[in-house]
Structure 1
Amino acid sequence: MPLLILQHDEAEHAGRLGDILSDLGHRLEVRELFGGDAVPGDLDGIDGVISLGGAYNAFRDAEDAASGEQEPSWLQPEKDLLRAAHEAEVPVLGICLGAQLLAVALGGEVGPLEAEHAPEVGFQKVTSTFFGSTDPLLVGLPWASHPFHLHGQQVTKAPPGGTPIPLQGSRACKVQAFRSGLTSYGIQYHFEWTRKMMVDVLDANQAELTEAGVDLAAVKASFDDHYPLSRHLGDRLCQNLAKLLFPIDKRLPPVGVSVENFRA
């Protein structure tokens, strides 16, 4: 059975995570919500759920409401599906917007970044807490690293059922990674993006980011210093997720084994 990928924006696909999952034998079912695909109404035939990033807000503030922009039709159905998957102990991963949707769906809270830190863009320092340093999915990652960020909102309160404090945080965003239960994880930064994806999304949002005070030239100039290690660590996290959160050996029938003829 496939892993369900919920994609909210054409440019923000599964990137390296999708490549690594496919290379390890996973089947992926991508729902392009931005193109009109529907969120499944149930979990039949789904072995895991991955909710990706996007330009929407999980939390609609007064500015969103005043803009007159309609809430996406998929927003509430997706939160309902994420909650159902969590309750059924189907593995769930939320990235950026997906992490915020997962947090809200499970009883956490989301809001805008503090003004002096908004938006958080580029390769910013993230550090692990004690709980992050001992979590299996983050094994092999250093205590401090510089993954890529592009967000103006944050999880202000992680959902219940996880560790007492988040797994990772940054100066601008205290909840960079969280866990709820044993099989639901949210990660705010983009470990899955390739360099091309980063440049494409920056270019697509150039006007808004420039207006917000982001020096896009400086962000792009930092790629040579930070991208190689960020990509290396991102691939390591993708491998951990593919093997530990979505272990394919637990989803496939045994090969070459006859249960009827087995004798203890």
Structure 2
Amino acid sequence: MSILVLQHCATCGPGRLGMTLRDHGVRLDVRRPDQHEADTPRGVPGDLDGVDGLIILGGPQNVTDIAQYPWMQQEAAYIKRCHEANLPIVGICLGAQLIAHALGGKVEARSKPQVGFDEVQITPAGQVEPVLGGIAWRHPQFFSCGQEIKQLPPGATLLAGSGATPVQAFKAGVRTFGFAYHFECDRPLLDALIGASASMLSGAGVAEGYLAASIDQHYPTYARLSDRLSLNLATLCFPVMRRATA
């Protein structure tokens, strides 16, 4: 099984989710569409051949600037193709926003960035969603975002929200999931996100030292939640249809 991973910056890799998928025999085809032309080995593919699923990661780009980025327009169109083909899709942060945009939702700039940990509440619909099985209905998640989903795509289901951000997780169709929070991070990836978010930290009014201490406090719980969600996605959203050959 081969899952296409669209990565948009060096500090936003597949992290614990990628590790779990590889442990389950899944091959990850990681590409940088922001650096490579579409329909090339490192850009957005021209078709769905050999693609069994799609993961769209975070990044510093803004969906509201999509008109300035042809590659982002191509990526949004590809997301829609994958969704219409009923391929499993997971979007994280920017990835979730791109899913929402591609499927007819609305993304806007936040009044100020959100960086750090915040409590997420799973909705009644999320409480019976198998992908969120075994996860506490109130739990901490990590955020690093300057935009948010203001309106879900038509027919999408809200799975989780928070006081600061009403749309934190959603499901569209059968196997398309968006997560506003960075559940995928291991500790080095969290540290890298802090280092790459200086301007966002300033805009959010969060001191780097405070954020580092907050990560120390929450990471053990966060890591367990990350592993559980990654395992659920690996076994329920991306079931192994064939073993990796590379």
Q: TM-score range with shorter-chain normalisation? A: over 0.9
Unaligned runs of 5+ in 2: 37-41
Q: Report whether the alignment pairs 1:146 with 2:143.
A: no
After the TM superposition, which residues 83-162 of structure 1 pair with which residues of structure 2 at under 5 Å, given as runs? 83-113=80-110, 115=111, 118-162=112-156
Deviation at 1:211, TM superposition (A): 4.4
After the TM superposition, which residues 1-264 of structure 1 pair with which residues of structure 2 at under 5 Å, given as runs? 1-36=1-36, 37-60=42-65, 71-113=68-110, 115=111, 118-163=112-157, 166-248=158-240, 251-252=241-242
Q: Is the 8 A contact 2:118 2:143 kept in 1?
A: yes
RMSD value over aligned CA atoms? Answer: 1.5
Aligned CA distance change for structure 1 residues 53 and 167 (closer, same or farther; 3 Å): same
Q: SS at the partner of 2:171?
A: strand
Q: Is the 8 A contact 2:2 2:50 kept in 1?
A: yes
Q: Is the 8 A contact 2:114 2:204 kept in 1?
A: no
**Inter-partner Cα distance in structure 2 for 1:48 and 1:172:** 31
Identity of aligned residues (%): 44
Where do 4+ consecutive residues of structure 1 move more than 4 Å? none
Q: Is the 8 A contact 2:34 2:72 kept in 1?
A: no
The total of aligned residue pairs comes to 238
Deviation at 1:72, TM superposition (A): 2.8
Q: Is the 8 A contact 1:10 1:34 kept in 2?
A: no
Aligned position for 2:39: none
Q: Which of structures 1 and 2 has the larger relative contact order (alpha carbons within 8 angstroms, sep 6+)? A: 2
| Superimposed CA distance per residue, residues 47-100 of structure 1 (whole angstroms, 9 cap, x where no aligned partner) | 00000000001123xxx9xxxxx8233101100010001111011111000000
TM-score (norm 1): 0.86
Q: Is the 8 A contact 1:120 1:149 kept in 2?
A: yes
| Superimposed CA distance per residue, residues 123-151 of structure 1 (whole angstroms, 9 cap, x where no aligned partner) | 11100110011101000000100011100
Deviation at 1:35, TM superposition (A): 3.4
Report the structure number with the largest CA radius of gyration: 1
Matched to 1:158, the amino acid is L
Q: Is the 8 A contact 2:113 2:200 kept in 1?
A: no
**Inter-partner Cα distance in structure 2 for 1:205 and 1:121:** 8
Matched to 2:61, the amino acid is Y
Unaligned runs of 5+ in 1: 65-69, 254-264
